[in-house]
Amino acid sequence: MKSIKFQNEDMAWEIAALVLYPPGFDESKTYPTIVSVHPFGSCKEQTSSDVYGAGLAKEGFVVIAFDASYQGESGGLPRFVEDPTQRVEDVSHVIDYAVTLPYVDAERIGCIGVCGGGGYALNAALTERRIKAVVGITPVNIGRLFREGFSNFDPLGALEAMASQRTAEARGGELQANELLPASPEVAKANSLTERDIWEATDYYKTKRGQKPGGATRMLFSHAQNTLCWDAFGFTELLMTQPMMVVIGQKVGAFGTYRDGMEAYGRSTASKDRQLVELADWSHYDLYDKPEPVKIALDKLIPFYKKHLG
């Protein structure tokens, strides 16, 4: 594994990434390459590289797991911006970099994403034709989630609050970076925040299980307005022609990934090979790093990528 930073001509900041190499890597050869997109509030060192990136690299793929703009070790100001349009554009920037590498086969590029990253990966494939196959692991449509649970089902009220906060910040006020999760499982329990997704997210992001310095689980509130009018699956019926796979757990939670995964799969009617993998006994955050469900997922997606990327 190699830690890198790169900057394309049309970017104002650097993107930080980890490049994972297959066993016996030979730079004189070319390899199928997969861009790995981290979840909302996450970073490249968590499930996108440590779990799925590592699993794919062992099977012969070069994997590039990167930090989103404004997040982790990547550049961009102000910090902690979650901008779906930029998140999807980041995928293209990573591919721009990948195709300059002598060992990357530009005709065999795939994309994978987890949680919000799954929604972004699927959305990127709609217009980024260099992506030849895409997998969404428990994918979330961030736009839908913001319009519903993250705005307390009051998207117009949230937009008004964001507008007021952005004006205050433009006039010199302090930036409002909202923490997305309780500080620890103990805090979550003390405040009765035990709904499945909130509890399991806290157990992953706020304990040694998954906690990493770059995984801030924070969002700049004033710059989130574009998220409320974004749809990960718009035009899917028309534009998702590449092979696609969705992996979801049937133990549902408030963040709605089962629902979103079913929608992404159901709308991908133009795909050359669409596949749905449902895991009856597992939940959204189980698929981040729990060995048994991750193995089931990898056992499905590795042959899928080998079929379509060679």
pLDDT of residue 310 exceeding 90, the answer is: no
Q: Amino acid identity, residue 117?
A: G
Beta-sheet pairing, 131-137 with 31-37? unpaired
Q: Amino acid identity, residue 135?
A: V
Q: Does residue 187 lie in a domain region?
A: no
Q: Does residue 290 lie in a domain region?
A: yes
Beta-sheet pairing, 131-137 with 177-179? unpaired
CB 309 within 8 A of CB 32: yes
Q: What share of the chain in percent tops pLDDT 70? A: 100
> With 0-12 CB in 10 A as exposed, 13-18 as middle and 19+ as buried, what is 10?
exposed
pLDDT tens by residue, 83-136 = 999 999 999 999 999 999 999 999 999 999 999 999 999 999 999 999 999 999
CB 183 within 8 A of CB 177: no
Tell me how far apart the alpha carbons of residues 305 and 134 are, in angstroms, rounded to a whole number.
8
The chain-wide mean pLDDT, for the chain, equals 97
Tell me how far apart the alpha carbons of residues 132 and 112 are, in angstroms, rounded to a whole number.
11
Tell me how far apart the alpha carbons of residues 35 and 154 are, in angstroms, rounded to a whole number.
35
pLDDT of residue 8 exceeding 90, the answer is: no
Confidence category of residue 295, pLDDT binned at 50, 70, 90? very high
Nearest Cα residue to 36 out of 108, 126, 136: 136
CB 37 within 8 A of CB 120: yes
Task: State the residue range of the domain holding 85.
Answer: 2-150+230-309
Q: Does residue 190 lie in a domain region?
A: no
Confidence category of residue 75, pLDDT binned at 50, 70, 90? very high
Confidence category of residue 211, pLDDT binned at 50, 70, 90? very high
Q: Does residue 273 lie in a domain region?
A: yes
Q: Does residue 159 lie in a domain region?
A: no
CB 274 within 8 A of CB 1: no
The sign of the CA dihedral 186, 187, 190, 196 is negative
Q: Does residue 251 lie in a domain region?
A: yes
End-to-end Cα distance, the chain: 22
Q: Say whether 63 sits in a helix, a strand or coil.
A: strand
Q: Does residue 252 lie in a domain region?
A: yes
Return the CATH number at 76: 3.40.50.1820
Tokens of 275: 């596949």
For residue 137, what are the β-bridge partners?
114, 247
Q: Say whether 7 sits in a helix, a strand or coil.
A: coil
Overall domain count for the chain: 1
Q: Does residue 117 lie in a domain region?
A: yes
For residue 5, what are the β-bridge partners?
16
Beta-sheet pairing, 62-66 with 31-37? parallel
Tokens of 155: 């998207």
Per-residue CA distances from 17 to 55, 90, 219, 261 (Å): 17, 11, 21, 27
Residue 74, number of CB atoms within 10 A of its CB:
22
